[in-house]
Amino acid sequence: MSDTIKIEILRELAKSGAVREITLLGNGAVVNIIAKVGMGERLLVARSGRARQFRDLNRAARFIRNDLGLALAGLNLANWNPDQKAI
């Protein structure tokens, strides 16, 4: 996925109601957040430009609920392995 979105922008879009869907995507030992905005999907990135990775599923859920103010999210754990060691 090449389209990305920074936290600050996603926060503003969530406030305005422009976020159509949020998915927690398990990827190895981490969880990423994918936002459907407009006609595309965007990977949440930190200020550094790297993918924002959550090592704990609960922290990712709290971020969606508390920081973005969203109450619903999808969950894709097909490639999630919480016991995998970081590379």
The sheet that has 74-80: what strands, in order across it?
4-6, 40-45, 30-37, 19-28, 74-80
Domain of 38, in residue numbers: 4-73
CB 86 within 8 Å of CB 33: no
- pLDDT for 57: 93
Tally the domains of the chain: 1
Q: Is the dihedral of CA 21, 63, 1, 27 positive or negative?
A: negative
- Examine residue 49 and state whether it is found in any structural domain, yes or no: yes
Mean pLDDT of 7-28: 96
Average pLDDT of the chain is: 93
User: Are β-strands 19-28 and 4-6 bridged in parallel, bridged antiparallel, or unpaired?
Assistant: unpaired
- Examine residue 79 and state whether it is found in any structural domain, yes or no: no
- Examine residue 85 and state whether it is found in any structural domain, yes or no: no
Q: pTM value? A: 0.90
- Examine residue 39 and state whether it is found in any structural domain, yes or no: yes
Chain segment 30-44, per-residue pLDDT in tens: 999 999 998 899 999
